[in-house]
A and B are shown apart, each in its own frame.
Chain A
């Protein structure tokens, strides 16, 4: 049953550019899927391991800048840059993890917030590398063939399929992760860190590995962002708002679930894009409202609640 639903959902994702040529809708779908990857990234650490980070924009920004800089200065195509950006995000996460994971609970969260602000200010002021507030702009993307035809980078469709692959890949990673021994350890850490240590779980190591994986996904999404929008500056890729939106998507969708982030992203991004047209930052008000309603009425998130309702329905039908 779950496989059928998953296969159907992937089929729908494949079909979207065939079903519509409306550029706004395709752009919306791209945005939704990019935020899905970010929600998944945050969910690995925040949902499964219970370590609430308010600084995930750091890894997104590092990935975005790495991709842009590698292309502008070394001519490395962004699709390679994207992967390297992810790896660099993971590398940056290691010292951050070693420092912040010395703290627990709210103190950890505050530390991640502080680190993210430091990184943003570095990006803003380290002009030799980042061009500071001016930002980095790329005008054209390198020529590449898909099969025998050249990819048309002026169309949104190639970007759509690229980000769709990333989102589906990230969901598969989450699925494998949640069933692994490390995934089980994270649940233990989320429930009680002392007890986890007392039964031989190296909690520091488990958290650092998870953060690195999470940072890798955020970095790749950042690389995609740079490539798709062709412009990055510190306010676009390092703001606190970005870190917070990742939290919203994971929480509203459903913490520690595979499909939660895509459900949260579809819901929040779609509605916020509609709001954004009318009120400049109105979507954040909407985000906050959804967050409050979710915490009060759907603590398991939209997907968590849907899953529970379905299980109950099946059970009732059988009896």
Chain B
């Protein structure tokens, strides 16, 4: 390091003779960095052929654990070559250090597996992990339902305060972002729709386009994706750090079920918040569509509303809304399950939060597809 002057760097002079003397000098400390090792192996080289050798510590200005260790390494290597090493001129603290810092070789690093084998093993691990995840979430759902049943049977167990608190967090605080996002998306759909439909002289059908698309699919899907990102991640991070800090174990030890205390209020809060937010999302998107239709297509709001009434039925609206609580539950279940699966490290927590968001968005989209197939099949 820069603060150490040349005079303080570790060095030695080999004095020849029947018993060569290695006159050590300078600071044999860790701050010499690579020089420490270099000098240590130079000592071995210069004294290898002697029968015995003396290490003279008289001129050593500083010795620390690393310095003592490096010198002991030289001693051991000389001993292995059949050279006797004696110590001279060492202060008492040097002797203690030399004794405490005796040399031992670091165990060789564990041999890595073959690259191909590791790759295949990783692939297998990933695939079986996928199945384990599916199994895990199913088992979790089962446990959740049984705990929910217990809570319904004994409403005293129900944590109403927690539910209200979580609902405030999840729904009230999400309103601005949900409304702005859906207003914009509704406006974009209407604007793009008008330009395409204008070519067929059918620009009034933009009302059908916006009404059906938003109410059936877009409103609920966008809300679910935003909630997965905004609330699902927060739930996983919160429960995950509680797990790391043994708070979840503390709950268990006090006879409380983490599922009942942590999962049920959050999942229910999401299941109740999602329809409310979806309703707001629908309204915002329709208003957005209405405004751009007015600006780009010359359809007045009054005309827009009249057209909307013929374009959609209450069913169109219900299709979107029915999906909302299911998606809320799925997001909540995945988020709490990932949170409770967190293990010890900060890295694990990071992975779990990412997995929670990715899995819930993926599941929500797949679920939306299944709903679409189902509703078509029953002509709803």
Q: Do A and B come from one complex?
A: no
